[in-house]
Homo-oligomer: A and B are copies of this chain.
Amino acid sequence: MSAMLSVAGATGATWVACARTEAERRLAEKTDPLLVGPPLHQAPFAIRHVNTDPISYEQYYSVIANPLLWFVQHYLWPLTYEPVVDQRIHDAWRQGYVAVNQQMAAAVIGVAHNSPRPPLVLTQDYQLYLAPRMIRDALPHATLQQFIHIPWPTPQYWTVLPRTMRDAIIDGLLANDVVGFQTNRDVRNFLMSCDELLGLRVDHRGGAVLHRGRVVWVRAYPVSVDVGALTLLAAGSGVATEDARLASWKPEKLIVRVDRTDPTKNIIRGFLAYERMLTNHPELMRRVQFWAFLQPSRQDVPAYREYLQRVRSTAVRINSELQQPGWQPIRLELRENLKRAVAAYKAFDVLLVNPIYDGMNLVAKEGMLLNTMDGVLVLSENAGAYEQLGKFALRVNPFDVDATADALYCGLTMPAEERKAKGEEIKRQIQSEDILQWLRRQLEDIHDFAPSRGGRQLGS
């Protein structure tokens, strides 16, 4: 979301989005798009809100996109019992996911018709898999590109969805000229899906698929953070207030995690690993604290409500078992506050990023960019960020709480020089590939590959 704000600001494009608030719904009824003032150093851009039927939107968002697609793409379904694909899911697909994609496509087509330039449509993520095909049908010569922010699993796991759904998803994506993913593994899994599920002709080395007589290019563009904006924010007075607040309770050693309360984030095993570390190294009791700064997420989805409850009860159990007068092992804070998160980033000794699977994980990048303590990154081998940052992080298997306990301890006790060296390497990496670089690489590829922009063809 914040990545896209930066991009819209940098390009002067029109951003088409579902209206979510009452104010946005009123704006959606106007003819002119909303002009948004420049965030920081960037250009103004327009937002076109789309009104959707509330029941359709609920089916689209809270049944199909989350959890159905999200859980498929992160291997999260407990397949023995769930999902049960029944009438409710089939209805939500047709009346929700297909319908909202149609409305969004119609709005994009409307904007494109009013545009003086040949249309270039950048579609974001898994909520809009079907829109590109609808846009392509209306605007055969448009240039279409889509970026998927979350992992793309193996074709074998896509069979958790009925054939009609998964085929429509892939067909929709292949209406683009270029499809972008976070990592090379996602690219490979997508190409395999085209091959195995749809029987398409695929060039695995060249990263291309032949479909309906068109060549579609598939590329990895690891997403990043807005280095300038974050650096300015961290130096601002709002964060200074949070720094002071943190200083009033900060322990000798601070472990931090900042996450939405999403099952992918693996918060419970993180607590269990920390508990294990404390029992392995009782000398750390009273000296260390684990600050879990969590944003409640998707609480309209039952699996997310249950997850948050279990996150909370695990923290409560560990605190009640290990706490001592004046010392609580885990500080669990549930709220959304970017400035407080930035204060946490600046202050950690160890940042725990141990997702089960994760498209990229920007907490790892934001945290390491802003940290001032030569803090250490403990990073899951299943985060997309691992491809770029893993070499200078402490690698953990997210399911292995014993190994994660060891990594936390290793991070807390690492010699100062080594911490500093590793942290600087990671910072350099993040600074060299910020969000505008991510956008630039995509625009360059669109220029190179899209036929309507004179792009090259397969084999050239």
How many angstroms from the CA of A356 to the CA of B276 in the assembled complex?
35
Give the contact stretch, choosing among A15-23, A85-93, A362-370.
Answer: A85-93
In the complex the two chains form, is B81's CB within 8 Å of A268's CB?
Answer: yes
Given contacts A185-B196, A196-B185, contact A84 B401 (CB under 8 A): yes
Residues of B contacting A303 with CB < 8 Å? 80
User: Which residues of chain A from 151 to 176 have any CB-CB distance to chain B below 8 Å in the complex?
Assistant: 151, 153-154, 156-157, 159-163
Q: Complex: how many Å from CA A156 to CA B87?
A: 31
Interface residue from B77, B161, B357 paired with A156 (Cβ < 8 Å): B357
Task: Say yes or no: A399-B162 contact (C-beta < 8 A), given A79-B76, A86-B276, A310-B81.
Answer: yes
A310 contacts which chain B residues (CB < 8 A)?
Answer: 81
A75 at the interface (CB under 8 A from B): yes
Q: Check A438 for interface membership: any CB of B closer than 8 A.
A: no
Which A301-360 residues sit within 8 Å CB-CB of chain B?
303, 307, 310, 356-357
- Nearest to A398 among chain B residues (CB) is B159
A385-402 with Cβ < 8 A to chain B: 397, 399-402
Does A78 have its Cβ within 8 Å of any Cβ on chain B? Answer: yes
A272 at the interface (CB under 8 A from B): yes
Contacts of A161 in B (CB 8 A): 397, 399
A382 at the interface (CB under 8 A from B): yes
CA distance A74 to B77 in the complex (A): 12
For A154, the chain B residues whose CB sits under 8 A away are 153-154, 156-157, 189
Measured CB to CB, the residues of A under 8 A from B are: 74-81, 83-87, 90, 151, 153-154, 156-157, 159-163, 185, 189, 196, 263, 268-269, 272, 276, 303, 307, 310, 356-357, 381-382, 397, 399-403
Listed by A's residue number, 21 A-B pairs whose Cβ atoms lie within 8 Å are A75-B79, A76-B79, A76-B80, A77-B78, A81-B268, A81-B310, A85-B397, A85-B400, A85-B402, A87-B402, A154-B189, A156-B185, A156-B357, A157-B157, A159-B381, A159-B397, A159-B399, A160-B399, A161-B397, A162-B399, A163-B397
Identify 18 new A-B residue pairs, CB closer than 8 A, beyond the known A80-B263, A85-B397.
Answer: A74-B79, A75-B156, A76-B78, A77-B78, A80-B307, A81-B268, A84-B272, A85-B400, A86-B401, A151-B156, A153-B154, A153-B156, A156-B185, A156-B357, A160-B399, A161-B399, A162-B400, A162-B403
